[in-house]
Amino acid sequence: MNAVLTNPRCERCGCEASKIFGCQERSTGLCPFIEQWKRRKNVGLKIGGCLTYILISVLFSSGYRWWAFTPLVLFGLWWALTQEVQLYNERTQTRLQRTTFAGIELNYKWTPKGKLLPIYFNRGKTAVYPLSISALPVESTRYEASIELAVAVFRAALIGLLADNYIEVHQFETSIFGRWRKSPLLVNDYIIIGIKDIPPPGDIGALERQIMQTMGGWRIKSGSKDWQNGLPIYDLVHNLYYRDQSDPEGWLIERATDDAEGRGLAQFGKGFHRKEINWDAACIAQLGQEHRATQLLSQQLAEAFPKFSLALNEQISKGIISRQDSGE
């Protein structure tokens, strides 16, 4: 897959990101970057004008101090003078987005693809079970449905999909206050992109399959969102759920435990926070071996890509917590 390199340039004229927006060739149709949308400007001016009118009316008709309305005025000005513009390069499937305030560039970013992370795994010839199942503990007959275990299960499922070449991870950078800094502050984010069709049932784990289905559905409903070819980690986890749950970590872990039970590997006694595990005696040795191998693969990812590994755990955790039922 053709990946757009970090901080790329226009393939036609070599312009950097901050200069592409002012390219004179865009008006002639020669520039490969076409304006996709522009927002906030017209609506912002109307809102700012209405707020200013209301403020003046109140000041003349009451005894309020003028400074009491300063936050309202500042909000109106910010909304009116802030503008976001997105350009699109169809050939490279690159989206370039810029945010300005009163014509001053605040930041820009390339999206949705970025630098392809060269993540490669070798699961070995002896691997039998999906990694989402192999991430479950096999040392004890009881386990707690904790956020740590839920993160480990989801992380293992992604590693399994990476190992089988179903997905790719792309890193992109957002440059903040690029015009005012000689060395712009760069913020890293990661996009999970599917590169294979969803396989038939049974070829991958149930959780892995649900992840692939979530990614496939995202292409349909993403519309004009920045990320159309894939999802940020948080959005992938958040959209995996059908609805909010009183126990979102338990719900996610059940995708793997139900899969294991359906394969005849174990029987699970369900409780509120704890479950009994009755592993099949004929499979326990293989499961233990693959559990250790899954932990080793996770450790290898952390050593090879420490920033991505930390972001992966953090965003998975946030995605799970975001599905906590607010009624609880």
The pLDDT assigned to 86 comes to 78
Average pLDDT, integer, range 72-100 = 72
Q: Is the dihedral of CA 172, 176, 179, 183 positive or negative?
A: negative
Task: Judge whether 231 and 239 are in contact, CB under 8 Å.
Answer: yes
**What CA–CA distance (Å, rounded) separates 301 from 198?**
24
What the block records as the tokens of 221 is 């409903």
Q: At what angle do helices 248-262 and 306-321 cross, to 10 degrees?
A: 100
Query: For 133-155, how does the pLDDT look when each residue is reduced to its tens digit (9 = 90+)?
Result: 999 988 766 777 899 999 999 99
Q: Are residues 101 and 241 in the same domain?
A: no
Q: How far apart are CA 86 and CA 116, in angstroms?
A: 22
User: 105 or 225: which carries more pLDDT confidence?
Assistant: 105
Where does residue 128 rank: exposed (0-12), middle (13-18), buried (19+ CB within 10 A)? middle
Q: Which domain holds residue 66?
A: 17-111
Same domain, 166 and 179: yes
CA dihedral of 109, 114, 115, 120, whole degrees rounded to 10? 140
Residue 266: predicted pLDDT: 85
44 pLDDT higher than 80: no
Tell me which range, 13-17, 64-68, 111-115, is most confidently predicted by mean pLDDT: 13-17
Got the DSSP string for 210-229?
A: HHHHHHHHHHHH-TT-S-SS
**Do 247 and 200 belong together in one domain?**
yes
Please tell me the distance from the alpha carbon of residue 170 to that of residue 266, in angstroms, as a whole number: 36
Residues 119 and 88 in one domain: no
Tokens at 288, concatenated: 């233990």
The pLDDT tens digits for 184-215 are: 455 567 889 888 888 877 789 999 999 999 98
Q: How far apart are CA 93 and CA 1, in angstroms?
A: 11
From 85, 111, 137, the end of a domain falls on 111
Residues 212, 89 share a domain: no
CA distance 6 to 175: 11
pTM: 0.68
Same domain? 22 vs 167: no
Task: Report CA dihedral (151, 295, 202, 319) to the nearest 10 degrees.
Answer: 10
Condensed to tens digits (0 to 9), the pLDDT of residues 1-13 reads 233 334 567 888 8
Q: Which of 86, 111, 136 is the last residue of a domain?
A: 111
Please state, in angstroms and rounded to a whole number, the distance separating the CA atoms of residues 203 and 200.
Answer: 6
pLDDT at 55 over 90: no
Q: Is residue 100 located within the same domain as residue 166? A: no
User: Is 85 or 48 the better-scoring residue by pLDDT?
Assistant: 85
Number of folded domains that form the chain: 2
The residue among 93, 111, 129 that closes a domain is 111
- Indicate the pairing of strand 274-279 with strand 266-269: antiparallel
The amino acid at residue 27 is S
- E-strand stretches of 222-323: 230-232, 266-269, 274-279
Clarify whether residues 153 and 49 are in a common domain: no
